[in-house]
Structure 1
Amino acid sequence: MRQIILDTETTGLSANNGDRLIEFAGVEMIDRRLTGNNLHLYVNPERDIPDEAVAVHGITLEKLKAMNAPVFAKVAQQIADYIRGAELIIHNASFDEGFLDMEFSRLGMPTTRTITIDITDTLKMARDRYPGQKNSLDALCTRLEVDRSKRVLHGALIDCELLSEVYLAMTRSQFSLVDELMDTANTSNNPAGGSQYQIKHSALPIVTPSSEELEEHEAYLQALDKIVGAPCVWRQWQQDTEDKSV
């Protein structure tokens, strides 16, 4: 599963009224693991950048010209090839998707959804999970204990890196330990991608945890309780088991 954590910075808020894209960043994740195959580009918007936009991201037209930033037409195909066939993970996806579609349409290129396989909006995910609460990227970092100390101004690349941690934290409960063990087994048994070996199941040994391991386990459960705002699934299962044994 190939996913791209994506973010953009722009000259303003309206893709339909003359604002342009000035920064693009994508962070690649395959099977929930960051690969390091990132794409980060600055773009000359071919227009001025209002002071209120500069106050948000700190990018001026002078800086872009000094670094010889290309116009979007020069990097459009590079961006399209990078996101092709991937699921995009975007916070407030309609904003970034709107700007990419506007820039692509100016060149007669397909829309973002045509190029990719899906777009997941983490803002919608957060609103569903934390209704009535602040769900900005900053707020989610605080709630999920993601370190954002390096984020002084909005920047596409650092925002992607933070969002990747937020996304993994919000979706962690969807992926079981068994899935991860099976993935590891399949990879080690089948490194060349050929036919898979059959995994034989046998009785598993029972290992009694030490007191230190039990303390670490309890600390981890408390962290999960804090993230979901209620007893985590493990505690619910443990309580059900105790109730049935009484």
Structure 2
Amino acid sequence: MPSFVQAALAVVAVLSPLVFPPASSAAETLRINGTGSGLVVVKPLTAAFQKENRGCVVVMEKSLGSSAAIKAVSRNALDLAVSSRPLKPAESVEGLVQQEWGRTPMAVLANRGVRASGVTLKELAAMYAGSSAKWPGGELVRVVLRPVEDTDTKLTRSLSPEMDRGVAAAHARKDMLVGITDNEAFDSVKKTEGAVAVMALTLALSEPNAVNVLKLDGVQPSVATLATGRYRHLKEMYLVTRKDAPASVTKFIKFLYSKKGRAVAAKHGLLITEAK
């Protein structure tokens, strides 16, 4: 059975002439893809960018995920990948470069029907472990997992030793909800009664009021609490390009770090780090 990344790369190989068309003489084309939790921030940024750069056409289709998008950049099927992980040594050898773009809170997201405003790490770990089957309001807990090797799974396990054991226990149980991509997991939280997951805040802010964003140990996840250090759980975002990236990429990245770019990103849950 091919992996998700292999399947995504197969799509890239077959559809790249259609999905990622070459730049025409009349306009610059910027082809972007990557992790779903990053693309929901890129979408409003591209809209703002294109208002100031009418000669640039941005092409961004359904999320391929970090790994598939990075591979597509190396094969010149994309110009820019938004990744939730740093490059692996082998990927750097392929002529790719990265820079840290920003950080977003890893938040506890619950279905809108859940009557709770917050949880503690201890309570959350018990939900993952299966020893706490109901929310305080009586709703049955339905944990939404990500694949074992996914970045979000690793980040969730790193929240505490109890969460590490809880996530391991959850993956060992049968009939668990598993979202292969950011978007699939987020949709499961939206649609499933009692659902809970640890995900990037950017996803919740992309659809206001679609899910409940819970306080964790009494602290509300936000760009402000992340910036001050009150909220400590985060997910990093990276920008990956080829060393010979076209001028449109350089122009777009410069916009991302501009005052306007930072403001748009912050509104959608991403705290921009300093360009290096």
Asked which structure has the greater CA Rg, the reply is 1
Under TM normalisation by the shorter chain, which class is it?
under 0.3
| TM-score, with length taken from structure 2 | 0.22
More strand by share: 2
| TM-score, with length taken from structure 1 | 0.24
More helix by share: 1
